[in-house]
Amino acid sequence: MIHLSVRIRELIIVLCVVVMSVFSNITLLTMTALALGTLAITLGISYSYRPASIVGLLTIYVSAASTMEIPTLIETSLVITAILGMLVPVVLLGILALSFEDEENDSIVIPKRPLAMSLFYGIVCVMAAPLVSLVISIVAPTIALNVNIVSQMALVFIVAIFGGVYLTMTKAAAAPILSPTSEEEAER
């Protein structure tokens, strides 16, 4: 389990927005949207008010989606830049914005296994087109040149569907067994 305090979460929010602004094609409108979304998430987390965090998260999602242009999914440098520059910060912001439940608990708990599984699933989905293109270019080099963006998106979609089906079929980790308290033992 990973425990994060409120101050650490606020620092992660600012770091994510800085990373997104460095790796994207920022315009003044996008910069304004990122700033307003960051402010809303930070205020929502500081005051334990989830609706403000969700509005800020949606604002950042829309501005992040409008900043990156990827003409092909086969060029791994563009895909990795999009993953590191947009996907990872937006996922971190999503985890932070949706993590708190009440005012009593200042720290959030992120289970490691679901986090690792979701990261692996995301990487496999995004890297599906370059990997299939690599295999096709080894087997039949003339066909690999004719893979268009629709075919690449279809590959990612197929991998996402099969990965999602596989993840729904896996069993969740067993919850830790809690020992009975002394009051429960006295009742027996």
Q: What is the reported pTM?
A: 0.56
The pLDDT of residue 187 is: 57
The domain boundary, picked from 56, 82, 110, lies at 110
Structural domain for 118, as ranges: 111-172
Please give the Cα distance from 166 to 69 (Å, whole number).
30
In terms of domains, do 61 and 73 share one?
yes
- pLDDT single digits (tens) 33-62: 888 888 888 888 777 777 888 888 888 877
In terms of domains, do 86 and 147 share one?
no
- Per-residue pLDDT band at 107 (split at 50, 70, 90): low
In terms of domains, do 130 and 145 share one?
yes
Contacts 24+ apart (CB under 8 A), 164-167: 164/121, 167/117, 167/121
The domain boundary, picked from 78, 110, 142, lies at 110
Total domain count, the chain: 2
The pLDDT of residue 173 is: 56
